[in-house]
Chains A and B, each alone.
Chain A
């Protein structure tokens, strides 16, 4: 008893001091570094819809548009649905029955945890006033200065600032939830909560600032990421790889049968993901009009193509098309089109989707050769799919689709591909190294995995004392 109490006291002190240190850093940075001036960045989540004002009149002040606001609020709800029930059921059906609730709980509780973290300090760190091009300040902690009745012209000129904030909150939520696929069936619930909070604060918030925040260095380079190929998918996917490597394989991996226990549940989840993803991509236009429409269309097209590609690949390689393959292919397509969705046309999106289907299927095949247990292929689908999507954006982006974007390799601008590559590298580095450190710290203080007996018993009973399916 005494040792557990001591451990808990140590961890609590560590967490509190960590948060205090971070806040001190924020205050100091606030004073020391000059406010950076914003260069005109290529629009990522706030593209200008194109019209030029008449030469003589000055631009009118930003005004709230009810159509844009309705669309962004709806999209926020759609993206929430991607996490719960979408991802919860997608992952939940893929684990063994004894871990169903544990897996669903992880997605559900991340929605709760990060929703609050975002309002308290996450949004401020990610999108707040720039500090040294690497992080936002603490000026917006507790949503101070984030109005419900005024737009923030830097990010979305025609919707209330809080609408943009809550839309982005759902992105932070699902990013953290995606990682759970890597350590399914073996992570201690308490450690998982601490991990999620630290990861959101020290990996997601800075990366979102780099790529989307005004003043962020990756944004200033000109990298294109419409809805989160780097910020959401590469970050979660590569972090998943780090988790799989640090935490080790599940007990009995390679010998025991670990087949999905409820594939209908998985397909239900994948369908929900597809449905909600229209909010993720088309919502990132933050306007209701041409750009949102284009993003919607390419999202659907790429996803459908990717599902077909995975199915065909599996059919050729193994001899049978599978339901899990079709659903996984669709998710891979959704991932890959994410960064490109506001910059590419429908025919390009077919190529993006086909690539996602084939590359991600290949990735899950070679996984066994490397011997790591990324249980639900978070790296194979999100890490690889996100990397392909971010690079494909550099290939197929066209200013004809989005004049606030850029042209890609195949549209006369090979330099964009290099910029995308730098962004991809930055995301990989932060995700892998940062996650590795966080995992090690938690492992040394609290331990990451459940005990062997608890893993045998299953998370549902050992972590939550509940059964997913009561027998009569």
Chain B
């Protein structure tokens, strides 16, 4: 089983989610995060104080899929999350040693 983690631009979330459901991914976890890579931050000013905010808001999506679906998930993410400008994000793929469904106790691929 593979976990595919993607940091994407927040406004892309709906497109990505729809595309993933279409290829057979039935669950995901989404977190609001902040981060930066090569994308520049912005300035904010309050009275006499100026702040440079380097962290940008991003969205992290995590999906866990059987090994045979992982490549299609990555390709879908690349297709739907890309805008072409700096700050599109990154995808991380890791191996998982175990997955368990809490309600039933099922393990492995049957838990996905």
Whether B45 lies near A368 (C-beta < 8 A) is no
Enumerate chain B residues within 8 angstroms of A377, measured Cβ to Cβ: 47
A6 close to chain B: CB less than 8 A: no
Q: What is the CA–CA distance of A324 and B44 in the complex, to the nearest angstrom?
A: 12
Which chain B residues lie closer than 8 Å to A365 at the CB level?
Answer: 48
In the assembled complex, A259 has its CB within 8 A of some CB on chain B: yes
In the assembled complex, the CB of B37 is this many whole angstroms from the nearest CB of chain A, namely 20
Q: Which of B33-55 contact A (CB under 8 A)?
A: 44-51, 53
Minimal Cβ-Cβ distance residue in B for A322: B45
Q: How far is the CA of A260 from the CA of B49 in the complex (A)?
A: 11
Set of chain A residues within 8 Å of B48, measured between Cβ atoms: 364-368
A320 and B45 within 8 A (CB) = yes
CB pair A324 B46 closer than 8 Å: yes
Whether the pair A259, B47 counts as a contact (CB closer than 8 A) is no
- What per-residue 1/0 map shows which CB atoms of A306-330 lie under 8 Å from chain B? 0000000000001010101100100
Q: How many B residues are at the interface, by size bracket?
A: under 10
Distance in angstroms from A405 CB to nearest chain B CB is: 34
The docked-state distance in angstroms from the alpha carbon of A365 to that of B47 is 7
Nearest chain-B residue to A368 (Cβ)? B48
Is the Cβ of A328 less than 8 Å from the Cβ of B51? no
Residues of chain B within 8 A (CB-CB) of A366 are 48
Q: Is the CB of B44 within 8 A of A364?
A: no
Q: How far is the CB of B105 from chain A (nearest CB, A)?
A: 28
Which B residues touch A322, using CB under 8 A? Answer: 45-46
* Chain A residues whose C-beta falls within 8 Å of the C-beta of B45 in the assembled complex: 318, 320, 322
Complex interface bits, A353-395 against B, C-beta within 8 A gives 1, otherwise 0: 0000000000011111000000001000000000000000000
Please, which residue of chain A has its CB at the minimum distance from the CB of B44? A259
Task: Report chain B residues within 8 Å CB of A258.
Answer: 49
* Bound-complex Cα distance A364 to B53 (A): 21
Distance in angstroms from A322 CB to nearest chain B CB is 6
Number of interface residues of A (CB under 8 A): 17
Contact B46 A368 (CB under 8 A): no
Give the distance in Å from the alpha carbon of A366 to the alpha carbon of B49 in the complex: 10
Task: Kindly state whether residue A471 has any CB partner on chain B within 8 Å.
Answer: no
A260 to B53, CA, bound (A): 14
Tell me whether B47 and A328 are in contact (CB under 8 A): yes
Chain B residues positioned under 8 Å from A2 (CB to CB):
none
Give the chain A neighbours of B44 by CB distance below 8 A. Answer: 259
Contact (Cβ within 8 A) A257 B47: no
Instruction: Tell which of B47, B48, B49, B50 has the most Cβ of chain A within 10 Å.
Output: B47
Q: List B contacts of A257 (CB < 8 A).
A: 51, 53
Give the docked Cα–Cα distance between A462 and B45 (Å).
29
In the complex, A367→B45 CA distance in Å? 15
* CA gap between A318 and B50 in the complex, in Å: 10
On chain B, the residues within 8 Å of A324 by CB distance are: 46-47
Return A452 CB to nearest CB of chain B, in Å.
22
Question: Which residues in chain B, 6-50, are within 8 Å of chain A measured between CB atoms?
Answer: 44-50
B51 to A, closest residue via Cβ: A257
What CA separation (Å) do A259 and B47 show in the bound complex?
10
The smallest C-beta distance from B57 to any residue of chain A, in angstroms, reads 15
Q: Mark A273-310, 1 if CB is under 8 A from B, else 0.
A: 00000000000000000000000000000000000000
Shortest Cβ gap from A435 to chain B (Å): 23
**A278 nearest CB across to chain B (Å):** 26
Which chain B residues lie closer than 8 Å to A94 at the CB level?
46
Complex Cα distance, B50 from A328, in Å, reads 16
Cα of A258 to Cα of B51 in the assembled complex, Å:
9
Q: Identify the closest chain A residue to B50 (Cβ).
A: A318
CA distance A257 to B47 in the complex (A): 14
Which of B48, B51, B53 is most buried by chain A, counting CB atoms within 10 A of its CB?
B48
B47 touches A325 (CB 8 A): yes
The 5 closest A-B pairs by CB, nearest first: A364-B48, A365-B48, A364-B47, A257-B51, A259-B46
Instruction: Identify 10 new A-B residue pairs, CB closer than 8 A, beyond the known A318-B50, A320-B45.
Output: A94-B46, A258-B49, A259-B49, A322-B45, A322-B46, A324-B46, A325-B47, A364-B47, A364-B48, A368-B49
Residue pairs across A and B with Cβ atoms less than 8 A apart, 26 shown, are: A94-B46, A257-B51, A257-B53, A258-B49, A259-B44, A259-B46, A259-B49, A259-B51, A260-B46, A318-B45, A318-B50, A320-B45, A322-B45, A322-B46, A324-B46, A324-B47, A325-B47, A328-B47, A364-B47, A364-B48, A365-B48, A366-B48, A367-B48, A368-B48, A368-B49, A377-B47
